[in-house]
Amino acid sequence: MSEMYGIGEMARDSGLTISALRFYDGAGVLVPAWVDPDTGYRWYGPGQRQEARLLARLRRVNMPLADIRLVLAGWSSQDTALVSTLLDAHLLRLEDGLDDARRELSTVRELLALREHPMNATGTDTTDTAQGSTPLRLTFAAPDLAAALDTVRFAVSGDPDLPMLGGVHIDIDGAEQALRLVATDRYRLAVAQLQAETAPGTAQQVIVPAALVDAMRALLTAEGEAVLTLDSDGSITLDVAGSRAAGACLDHDFPDYRRLTRLPAGRRVAVDVVALRELLTTGPTRRGPDSADVDISLLALTPDGALTVVGDADSCHADDTGSDSADPTNPGDRIAVNREFLLDALAASARDRLVLELGGPVAPLAVRLPEGEDQNRFSLLMPIRLTD
């Protein structure tokens, strides 16, 4: 046994997760040299360390499982011709797939260009560049505007390659008498709505850069009125108790967030925020797939309907009473989320009780206020797709 390696050591040495090693054992791809008949613990031989590292590399380039099995078989038998043939065939598939992706994305770009600059029957660009000339002024209670900004600020993107997501989108809808604040970094999206007294038919959309959002939030520290002014030159101003924050809005178009928020109904679970935060910070986690350097929490529901944070061997749950208990769950129903992102969403809500809406392993996780409170203030977290 001194020359054998436990599954934990094999996982650390190869870059595969423990659950991945279990999966590949069950699939007959990398079978342990010995399994303890009493405990079921897996042990691997010295020669299997190199095979596990090779398996991790093939997995990162999405080689089909059937081909991986043949590559490992050829590797162990030193059949270099077979291994080379399989590698060349997979590389050709990847290159063909990349060529297809380039063609499809080029077509999408052409269609996008037509949407940005539509042409009429005479071939003239029909893009409407006219803007209103009268500034739009809206008045809110300072604490309400502060709470709305706090709800969405955490979801602003910091990716310089996506400048259109680098701020808070303000959408004024006169028909609904509403002002919506929206932010997204692709992996999470947050929405907050305030009532806005505007003239019928008023509609305006701007993106306020993150630095200006923070300057505005710094003014909203006391009771009183906050006056938001949007000018036709693309600038925005916030006046609060004799202080002002002003600047230019981003010259970009924000994605259609309404489309992103149209979700099928999921299972709604009331949670105690303090208890859930404790479980997330102290409970089991796993690392992100491939090179994603994030801590993942696995969420699931127990048979009695409580939300759980599960690991490989045990689970604890945080229901609306804050009680903890161990309870097995169905691995197929687990939802993998970025732990830090979920903690940020819980903090942004500033509530002791929340409702999490679970649509399944591949549907966005919705974090909502309890029934009876504002349902136009919520955040969405994209789940992480696990490959094992």
> Which domains, ranges and CATH numbers included, belong to the chain?
5-90 (1.10.1660.10), 136-256 (3.10.150.10), 263-381 (3.10.150.10)
Query: Comparing C-alpha atoms, which of 202, 208, 220, 199 is closest to residue 141?
Result: 220
Instruction: For the full predicted model, state whether its pTM sits above 0.85.
Output: no
Burial class (CB in 10 A: 0-12, 13-18, 19+), 367: buried
Cβ(281)–Cβ(369) below 8 Å: no
CB 333 within 8 A of CB 302: no
In this prediction, residue 2 carries a pLDDT of 61
Sign of CA dihedral 123, 124, 127, 128: negative
Strand order in the sheet with 42-44: 5-6, 42-44, 34-35
* Contacts with 125 (C-beta within 8 Å, 6 or more apart), sequence order: 117, 118, 119
50-89 in b/e burial notation, b at 16+ Cβ within 10 A? ebbebbbebbeeebeeeebbbbbebbeeeeeeebeebbee
Report residue 306 as tokens: 């409580």
Q: For each of the chain's 388 residues, which pLDDT tens digit applies? A: 568 889 999 999 988 888 889 888 888 888 999 999 989 899 999 889 999 999 999 988 989 888 888 888 888 778 788 889 889 999 999 998 998 888 888 888 878 777 665 555 445 454 443 345 678 899 999 999 999 999 999 999 999 888 999 999 999 887 778 899 999 998 999 999 998 877 766 788 999 999 999 999 999 988 889 999 999 888 999 999 889 999 999 998 888 888 888 877 788 999 999 999 999 998 888 876 654 578 889 998 888 888 888 875 444 445 443 333 334 344 456 888 999 999 999 999 889 999 999 887 888 899 999 988 888 899 999 888 766 5
pLDDT tens, position by position, 55-100: 999 988 989 888 888 888 888 778 788 889 889 999 999 998 998 8
